[in-house]
Amino acid sequence: MSDNAAKEEYNMDHDNKHYSRCSSAGSTHTPNSSAHNSDDDDDSGDRHSTSAANSTLSYKERRREAHTQAEQKRRDAIKKGYDSLQELVPRCQPSDSSGYKLSKALILQKSIEYIGYLNQQKLKQEDESSALQKEVTALRIIQNGYENMLQHQQSNPGPEEARVTEEAKFQVFQAILEEMFDTFQHIPMDNFKQLTTGVIPWLEEHCKPHILRNILSRTLQQMAQETQEKQQQQQAMEQETGGGFS
């Protein structure tokens, strides 16, 4: 049977089904007359007339052919699914020259492997995305801190004599950077990922407020001591020069 013939027969059969339903709906048949179409009564043909037996036979024939066509349709759908899978999954595609086609079992197996690979890739990308999000958050916090400091300093410069000189600012900044660099240089930097994953723990461990406060305190003490020493030297020199005139 050709495909077209099969399709035509299928359509005709389909129409018959609709007709069957409509006639069933429109007729005044009793449950007994409906039961003539059931398979159960096929085996007890002697209870029916010859015409009834013929109608039962044609019904069985129709039912069988419809079943065959439906089965063909189902197989086609399954085959189409396998073909689609083979097109979608990279390792399922046949090589160009040979036209080699994988078996259905292999197509399923390769598809499962490919889905597993895609799942792994997805997890990996989610991890990377999460790490980058954390980094962005940390950098935003630092940025906000600096912006707040700058804003506060600009709005409250303080009295003239209390203002810190540029040199003093530089000394404090230098001290903080030098001390932090000692620890920062131990972060692995073979690649960008190592660097980004190392920066966050370093920030959390070495950039705590009390650490920065200690550095600042030590530096200020040292600067105060140096200033005091300078003042003492200056006073001594003034005394020497003043004593000479007196």
For the CB of residue 113, give the shortest distance to DNA in the complex, in Å: 17
For the CB of residue 115, give the shortest distance to DNA in the complex, in Å: 19
Residue-wise over 117-146: b if at least 16 C-beta within 10 A, else e? Answer: eeeeeeeeeeeeeeeeeeeeeeeeeeeeee
Which of 95, 185 has the CB closer to DNA? Answer: 95
For the CB of residue 16, give the shortest distance to DNA in the complex, in Å: 6
For the CB of residue 131, give the shortest distance to DNA in the complex, in Å: 44
Which of 57, 164 has the CB closer to DNA? Answer: 57
Structure tokens at 176: 């903080």
- Which residues of this protein are in contact with DNA, per CB under 7 A? 1, 14, 16-18, 20-21, 24-28, 30-32, 34-35, 37-39, 63-64, 66-68, 70-75, 77, 79, 102-105
Which of 52, 176 has the CB closer to DNA? Answer: 52
Cα separations in angstroms, 151 against 146, 162, 164: 9, 18, 16
Cα separations in angstroms, 202 against 51, 181, 194, 235: 94, 11, 12, 46
Which of 35, 112 has the CB closer to DNA? Answer: 35
Max distance between CA atoms of the chain, in angstroms, equals: 156
